[in-house]
Amino acid sequence: MAHAAHAETAYVPPAEVPDVELYHPKTFLGKYIWCQDAKVIAIQYAITATAIGLVALVLSWLMRLQLGFPESFSFIDESSYYQFITMHGMIMVIYLLTALFLGGFGNYLIPLMVGARDMVFPYVNMLSYWVYLAAVLVLVASFFAPGGPTGAGWTLYPPQAILQGTPGSGWGIILMLASLALFIIGFTMGGLNYVVTVLQARTRGMTLLRMPLTVWGIFVATILALLAFPALFVGSVMMMLDRLLGTSFFMPAIVEMGERLQYNGGSPLLFQHLFWFFGHPEVYIVALPAFGIVSDLISTHARRNIFGYRMMVWAIVAIGGLSFIVWAHHMYVSGMNPYFGFFFATTTLIIAVPTALKVYNWVLTLWRGNIHLTLPMLFSLAFIITFVNGGITGLFLGNVVVDVPLSDTMFVVAHFHMVMGVAPILVIFGAIYHWYPLITGRMLNEAMGRFHFWVTFLGAYAIYLPMHYLGFLGVPRRYYEMGETMFVPESAHFLNAGMSVVALIVGFAQMVFLFNLAWSAFKGREAGRNPWRATTLEWQTHESPPGHGNWGPALPVVYRWAYAYGVPGAAQDFVPQNLPPDRVATAADVDHEGVRGVAVQPAE
């Protein structure tokens, strides 16, 4: 209690935060379609991302069918297999995870959590969504273009990506690059909004070190994205020029199938550097919001303050900074100067220290807590396990010499699925179970939720843990079929078939989740105000679910940090951020009536 940042009634700055003139929709279209309210934009982002994510899910089924049961499905040939893996990867990383965390959760939660009425540039925010939608549509169009979508792998490495030997080297790659460029333009509009809103539109008393970690995670991730995406943008434009105008940014002198091409003097490695200068921060663009959100879920559902809040904030910032000097650990066997390995292995392993600290602090938040095993808590526990597992295998791949045998094998596939596929998606699920009552006013169905949780967590773990061992064996990634080798035993094929069956089951569980989302919106139990008894501002709005402008007549004033759970002396085990100190009921007060200002609800 001696720490200034956490004192119960620290100094509140006197300056009034000027209220803003809001955009007021006049028509149905203005309210739900061409809408400038961040909450509606968030839902639009989320629905679009989920829809395209379903495409990625189906693609993963198809590729698992091929891997588990090669030569069984005539409709999956080499072309379509490579197209499936490429589009699955690109959709999941960019169009689902990035869009959902930043465009979805960022839009919904930032204004509500910092006490703003909306994003600072609502019109640009609206444009951001529509450009994102255009990017998705262009991406989808490539499925119907002549030659189909690109099959260059999600990393799109040239020269291969734009040459004949790769499926979709005509329309496919052009549409892919165009879609990426659009996505980045759209994201930049949204991203500027998130950053400026956090910096400029926080309500009175909401200092930076009182912000919930969710906001910190999304804030730092957005800064990373604003700095990293331009590298992908120029890479895409340059490759487009190589493809359409015959420039040679990434193309050296090449003899393709015996025919000498007109390219000369370019560098394929240059693209890889640009791609991974974006691509590695991208890992943290997905991970940092997940870190932030899961911190809040754990704290709320364990009824305990997050452990080491300031350390958590600095860890997010440190990870964000370091993520810009580790990119070439994706390129240890790319043929770049091998002496780079010393530098990038060192920076990569250093990043493990702040990351490990975050894990310790999550677990230490559970320690001496009062843990409700709600769905958000279950997903958070599962996140910790899968994230630790995936982080640990990152220490293998980051340590340059260990990467050499494992690089380009199924070990890599298992690693990145565990750490930036399964783990962040578990957080997304936890977050949806947590905030769905805020958005819709109803709780998600508990039974369906528990089915969804156990199948998803245990199933995903059962798929990806064994997959690492295929990598040890030496099974390369991106193989349409293993064919004959002298080193892959028959039992490995059996393992592959098993993983495919589990993948189909896990995919089915997501259908139950989607049904739950739709069903509970109408039939779910009424949530009431602040069903989780959380401290953060989004649960303390004038009306619930929060209406246009969020706060009714007056902006909230913040008196304390976001983690006042279990404060000694307080009547309830949580004290909302905006509850004035003189109205915090002590244990003695409660003997009378309900306490004003605090949502008095029976514990579950």
Partner 1 sequence: MVVALILVLVAVGSVAFHLLSPWWWTPIASNWSYIDHTIIITFWITGVVFVAIILFMAYCVFRYRYRKDRRAEYEPENKKMEWWLTGLTSVGVAAMLAPGLFVWNQFVSVPEDAAKIEVVGEQWQWSFRYPGKDGVLGTTDPRNITPENPFGLNPNDPKGQDDVLVQGPEARLPLDKPVKVLLRAKDVLHDFYVPQFRAKMDLVPGMITYFWITPTRTGTFDVLCAELCGLGHHVMRGKVVVEPESEFQAWLQEQPTFAQSLARAGTGTPDINLASSEGGSEPLERLLK
Of 435-474, which residues contact partner 1 (CB under 8 A)?
A: 458, 461, 465-466, 469-470, 472-474
Binding mask 6-25 for partner 1 (x = CB under 8 A): x-------------------
Is residue 253 involved in binding partner 1 (CB under 8 A)? yes
**From the CB of residue 480, how many other CB atoms can be counted at a distance below 10 Å?**
17
Minimum CB separation of residue 508 from partner 1 in Å reads 21
Residue from the set 360, 511, 547, 552 that interacts with partner 1 by CB under 8 A: 360
Residue from the set 385, 501, 504, 517 that interacts with partner 1 by CB under 8 A: 385
Is residue 495 involved in binding partner 1 (CB under 8 A)? yes
Residue 138 or 176: the one with the smaller Cβ distance to partner 1 is 176
Minimum CB separation of residue 192 from partner 1 in Å reads 33
Is residue 359 involved in binding partner 1 (CB under 8 A)? yes
Phi, psi at residue 255, to the nearest 5°?
-115, 110
Residue from the set 33, 199, 244, 373 that interacts with partner 1 by CB under 8 A: 373
Residue 107 or 409: the one with the smaller Cβ distance to partner 1 is 409
Contact 73, 65 (CB under 8 A): yes
Residue from the set 13, 199, 246, 485 that interacts with partner 1 by CB under 8 A: 485
DSSP symbol at 409: B
Minimum CB separation of residue 269 from partner 1 in Å reads 6
In 84-131, the DSSP E strands lie at none
Closest-CA residue to 366 (of 393, 347, 385): 385
- With residue 287 as reference, give the H or E element that holds it: helix 268-301
Residue 38 or 251: the one with the smaller Cβ distance to partner 1 is 251
Angstrom distance (rounded) from CA 569 to CA 1: 12
Binders of partner 1 in range 307-336 (CB under 8 A): 307-311, 333-335
Q: How far is CA 532 from the centre of its chain?
A: 23
Is residue 84 involved in binding partner 1 (CB under 8 A)? no
- How far apart, in Å, are the Cα atoms of 279 and each of 123, 271, 414, 427, 431? 29, 11, 18, 21, 25
Residue 30 or 474: the one with the smaller Cβ distance to partner 1 is 474
Angstrom distance (rounded) from CA 359 to CA 499: 28
DSSP symbol at 69: S
Angstrom distance (rounded) from CA 228 to CA 7: 37
Stretch that binds partner 1, among 113-121, 480-488, 504-512, 593-601 (CB under 8 A): 480-488
Residue 115 or 158: the one with the smaller Cβ distance to partner 1 is 158
Binding mask 284-303 for partner 1 (x = CB under 8 A): ------------------xx
Question: Going by C-beta distance under 8 Å and a sequence separation of 6 or more, which residues neighbour residue 239?
Answer: 156, 158, 161, 162, 173, 177, 249, 250, 271
Question: Going by C-beta distance under 8 Å and a sequence separation of 6 or more, which residues neighbour residue 146?
Answer: 170, 171
Stretch that binds partner 1, among 51-59, 126-134, 225-233, 487-495 (CB under 8 A): 487-495
- Position of tokens 């220290």? 353
Helix/strand/coil for 306: coil
Is residue 197 involved in binding partner 1 (CB under 8 A)? no
Stretch that binds partner 1, among 94-102, 386-394, 505-513, 544-552 (CB under 8 A): 386-394
Crossing angle between the packed helical segments 171-200 and 107-114, to the nearest 10 degrees:
10
Minimum CB separation of residue 167 from partner 1 in Å reads 7
Residue from the set 41, 213, 345, 418 that interacts with partner 1 by CB under 8 A: 345
- Position of tokens 């499926």? 167
Binders of partner 1 in range 543-582 (CB under 8 A): 563, 565-568, 573
Binding mask 128-167 for partner 1 (x = CB under 8 A): -----------------------xxx---x-xx--x-xxx
**From the CB of residue 597, how many other CB atoms can be counted at a distance below 10 Å?**
15
DSSP symbol at 303: T
Contact 128, 38 (CB under 8 A): no
Helix/strand/coil for 582: helix
Is residue 247 involved in binding partner 1 (CB under 8 A)? no
Q: How many residues bind partner 1 (CB under 8 A)?
A: 115
Angstrom distance (rounded) from CA 486 to CA 491: 13
Residue 226 or 357: the one with the smaller Cβ distance to partner 1 is 357
Is residue 344 involved in binding partner 1 (CB under 8 A)? no
Binders of partner 1 in range 222-241 (CB under 8 A): none
